[in-house]
Structure 1
C-alpha cells in the first residue's frame, strides 16, 4: 500500500472575474523508496502542489493521505506535530536561523517536542558529517557558502527520519557543480533512508535522475515514461 495517496486533488483561488484553478484533478500515489520530479513552467502550480503535500496549504477539493492519515482533519497542534514527524522540507532558500550555529539549526525541528536530547545532538552531528559539515558544527550560516548552507538544510530536513521529503527548487540558487553535488546528496540520503522524495525543479538534469518524472500541464499532473539516469 502506498504511503502517500492523492486523489482528485484540486486547488483554486478566488479572483474578481472567476476562480483561478491552479490544480485540477491531480492523482498521485507514492511508496517508500520512490523519488518523483515535478516540472513545469513558472506559475503552473508546482509549489502549490508541494505545499499541499506538506500540509501547509489546504486543497479546495480532493483527498490527501500520508501514512494513512488525512492531515487536514487534524487540529492545529496535532497537524504541527504530524508535519514535524512525517515531513521534511528543503527549499530553494535555506531558511537557516542566522543567530544559531549549524548544529542548532539542524536540531530546530525537534523543538516541537521540547528540548533536544543528547541522542538527538549525536544524530545531528552524524547527519552533518554525512553532508560534509562535520567540521562546521559551530559556524553560523553567514560563515558558510551557499552550497554549505543548503547541505545544512538537507540535514535539518532529515533529522527526524521523515517518511516524506519535499524539495522546492533545492538547487535553483546554486552554481552547476554545487547543484550537482546537492542533487547527489539528496538522492543518496533518500535511498539510504528509504524515504519518499518529491522535488520541484526546473533542472532537466536533476529531474532525469529521479525515479519518476511528472509535468504539470494546465493544472493536471502528467507522468513521463522516461527512466531515471542511474
Structure 2
C-alpha cells in the first residue's frame, strides 16, 4: 500500500503529550497522521486535508469539540470523514449529546491505546472497506485488496495500480457520483497536481479492462458531474 492509500487520521487535542502519544501509536499502526491543537484549527485541517478519521477531544480552546464537530459535519470534506469524540464525560446524556452533534463514535477517557486503535479501524471498515482488506462485490465484479485480485463473472481481470484504486473507490460507494476532482484526491492524493483529464484516461482504461471478457459497462458518466458505478 502506497503512502497515499494509507488512511489519514486527524488528531485534535490541546495537550502536547497526548498528541505525541497518539501520533506515535497510530503511525506505528500504519496510519498517516495530521494534528490540530484547537477546534478552529481542526475545522480548517479537515477542509484542507480531508482526513478519513477525526479523533476530536471534547474540551478544546477557541472552539469546543462539539461546535467543531457540527462545523466539520456541515462541510463537504467533513461529511466524508468519521468523527470519534474523545471525552472524560462518561454520562449517557453526554454520549447522546456528542452523537447527536454528528460524531460517529464516542470514547471515554481514560482509555487504552489498543481500544482507541480498534475503534479507528472499526470506523474505517465502515468508511473505506478496501483499506481494511475486505472483499467488495458489486453485481458480478469482485475486488479483493488482500490478494490484489479483481474478477468479473469468475474471470480474472488485469488492472494497473491506478485502475485498481479507481475501482476500489467506485465499489466502496456504489451509486455515489464522484467528481473528477474528488477522484484525483481519493486515488492520486491531495498533494499531486495533475490535469483532471487524467481521470478520464484512467476511467477509460478501467472500463476497457472491466469489459474485456464481455458484460455491460458498469461505470456511468454523469454529464457535467463525473462518474459513478451503478
Which structure features the higher share of helix residues? 2
Q: Give the TM-score of the pair, scaled to structure 1.
A: 0.32
Q: Larger C-alpha radius of gyration, 1 or 2?
A: 2
Normalised by the size of structure 2, how large is the TM-score? Answer: 0.32
Q: Which has the higher contact order (CA 8 A, sep 6+)?
A: 1
